Amino acid sequence: MCDTSVVLACAAKNGEAFFAKNSDRDPNEAQYLVMLPAQDHAKDKQLRCTYIQIPQVSHTYKILLSKPYWMWGAEMGANECGVVIGNEAVFTKVQAKKEPGLIGMDYLRLALERSCSALEALNTITNLLEQYGQSGNCSKEHGLYYNNSYLIMDGKEAYILETIDRMWIAKKVIDFYAISNALSISTEWDSISTDLIEYAVDRKWCKDRSHFNFSEAYSDLIYTRFSQGCERRNHVMDLMKENKGKIELQFMKEVLRSHSLNPKQTFPDRSLTAWNVCMHAGPGPIRNSQTTGSFITQFSKDLPTHWVTGTAAPCLSIFKPIWMTSGLPDIGPEPTQCFTKDSLWWQHEILHRQVLRDFAARKAVLKPLFEKLEKQIDALIVSEKNMNAKTRNQISMKSFQMEKEQFQIWSFLIENEKSEHKNAVYFKNYWQKNNQKVHIPV
């Protein structure tokens, strides 16, 4: 499960615009950052995606991705043209197909590689979708099949795209928008696939064309209800409405770190069903995902700045800056399905799982330290008057280094804090099994 939002410059402060996403996946599904160069490709070359091959195009753009370690596609990312995209799982009355094909994360990467504007990215996805459809397992550890929605942005404009099998509907964003694990487009849209309305009318999901409401006609109420997608989306939309005209980078960080939707998440071991924008997994079929990566794009007058965690749990992570023109610094080896000692994601995950033993108290200890480090990173940018590619790369590298240097210090600090909190037995057993599965030394 995930949450994605966009804010156009007309609704933000200082003429900036923003994209933000939390990627929620299985708790051991490590996510990593990768930057791939622009490339020219030979005629008739085939491209291998997660499960199938499709024809490659003659040129692909430079891209930055935050992606689960095992798949070709990505949960969120950006390209050199300033296009950014995030996708969401949506559950509908039309059952998602299971045979190996293109999955939503493949479409996201394909659109970034092949599109130089938000509108072109929208058209890239819909054209490929009508040709190939969407199908395949979206989880490494168990069966998870779903259709997809997308928020697509390029700094000047943004679009919502919601899809079901080969069908789709799209709407241009006005001011701001948020999506979660629920269909959001209702009776107003800007473009639509030719068969979407007729499909619903034929199955009596709506009376006729004049009564068509997309989300009402197609939503699977059971999965949508238990994922609390509508509640999470409404929570983010309300926050943006309340702060319209005042939205800046820190606000977008706090949205992704939000636990205010459900106070029970202050003690994530005390609930089996409580969801939030910043997710921490728990046992059972309802809340078995956690936020495994976070991504914010800040569109200012200069180059877009991509603020990334490269780690799980944004409430316990540092947002570090990356620029497409200066490259991705060396952040260590790509994570695998088991604990990797030098991997950024797994190093941070040790800290995250230590905090979960007494979440409220340990988070309170670490929060001012995280805030101090992020202010130091901000100061690195402010202090540089000549922001060329070299200095940007140095700032990115320094930001990642500063965080890594603190992991053991933070870990030692919370382990030496007295705690009388005891996790619920089912929660403790759940995380012990997850740790054993990947050989994490917690």
DSSP string for 179-231: EBSB----S--SEE-TTHHHHHHHTTSSSSGGG--HHHHHB-HHHHHHHTHHH
| DSSP tag of 9 | G
| DSSP tag of 325 | T
* Burial tier of 143 (Cβ tally within 10 Å: 0-12, 13-18, 19+): exposed
Measure CA of the first residue to CA of the last residue in the chain; give whole Å. 26
Question: Do 234 and 184 contact (CB within 8 A), yes or no?
Answer: no
Residues 6+ apart with CB under 8 A from 10: 175
Neighbours of 389 (CB within 10 A): 13
Torsion sign over Cα 350, 351, 356, 357? positive
Q: Beta 305-308 vs 320-322: how paired, if at all?
A: antiparallel
Buried b (16+ CB within 10 A) or exposed e, 7-37: bbbebbeeebbbbbbbbbbbbbbbbbbebbe
Residues belonging to the active site: 2
Q: Would you state the structure tokens that stand for residue 326, as one six-digit string?
A: 């200066």
Q: State the Cα–Cα distance between residues 309 and 268, nearest whole angstrom.
A: 21
